[in-house]
Structure 1
Amino acid sequence: MARRTVGDIEKIWSSVEGIRKLSDRVIGVGPVGFGLDALLTWVPVVGTAYTVGAAGWLLYQAQQARATPGTIAKMVGYLAFDTATGAVPLIGDAVDTFFPGHLMAARALQKEIESTHWVEADEASSRASGEHERHLETIRSKPHLRRLVYLHD
């Protein structure tokens, strides 16, 4: 696998933002938004294909960003509920229209990306050079950071 950079992580964040907006916030009225997921849920097969495809893309991006198992589980829960409701004719479609599953899953991944200190090195060389302690100090000094990921491991 090619070595990742912070730029790659930023591209993942932007890609997730695009799916979030396209799926659940193309049209926003106050706190309520609608997107392709809400519109296509009323079209048999096409709506399910879109929902599953977008969910798969979000989970792939989570894997690429090395999301924690907890974040992935949260995303799977949101996306599974979104997919299951859309698969039920009429009542399920109505629920799916107002349930922003893709938006919630995308936000969970974006929060994780934002709370991670990304290092373009491998852990072994960082420990050997003494930089690992500096990275840990960065995490301790910034309350929004919760984890450290070496991109070249």
Structure 2
Amino acid sequence: MQPEEPKRPIPMGMDLPTGSDPVSIRRRVEALEQVLERSFRIPGVNYPVGLDAIVGLVPVVGDLITAAMGAYIVWEGKNLGMPKWKLWRMAGNVAFDTALGAVPLVGDAFDLVFRSNTRNLKIIRKHLDKHHPAARTIEG
């Protein structure tokens, strides 16, 4: 029997929970949204950008990768038992971001201003605050 490998923290210093409870899902979605939308700042203008805008610079493949990561947030919403209309709205945000993000140059600029993952996080937070108040966190 081999010893269990110790848990490694995420590079940002966050320890993501692996459970399927609302608090764990909220933390995972918040961490992924931060990585995709606000993980870096553009020097000089102090504007936050994330992997969605950066990886989106790679034609086709970058947009597919960020679309898959955005779809994961929608899947986590499904795990929370969110209504289908909210899931469709979230999927629409990801599809719209992916479609316009695939347009050369214009799509790259669009990725800087349209943050589908932030919009989807807001939908999930609103759902959690209403249906799972114990999962509410204090925003800092």
> TM-score if structure 2 supplies the norm length?
0.71
Alignment of 1:17 with 2:26, yes or no, is no
From the superposition, tell whether residues 7 and 80 of structure 1 become closer, same or farther in structure 2 (CA, over 3 Å).
Answer: closer
Task: State the SS of the aligned residue for 2:30.
Answer: helix
Task: State the SS of the aligned residue for 1:115.
Answer: helix
Residue from 43, 51, 54 that aligns with 1:39: 54
CA RMSD of superposed structures (Å): 2.6
The residue type equivalent to 1:34 in the other structure is V
Name 2:12's counterpart in structure 1. none
**Runs of 4+ more than 4 Å apart:** 28-32
The Cα shift of 1:31 comes to: 9.6
Structure having the higher helix fraction is: 1
> TM-score if structure 1 supplies the norm length?
0.65
- How many equivalent residue pairs? 115
Percent sequence identity over aligned pairs = 30
Task: State the SS of the aligned residue for 2:21.
Answer: helix
- Whether the 8 Å CA contact 1:26–1:34 is kept in 2: the answer is yes
From the superposition, tell whether residues 43 and 58 of structure 1 become closer, same or farther in structure 2 (CA, over 3 Å).
Answer: same
Structure having the higher strand fraction is: 1
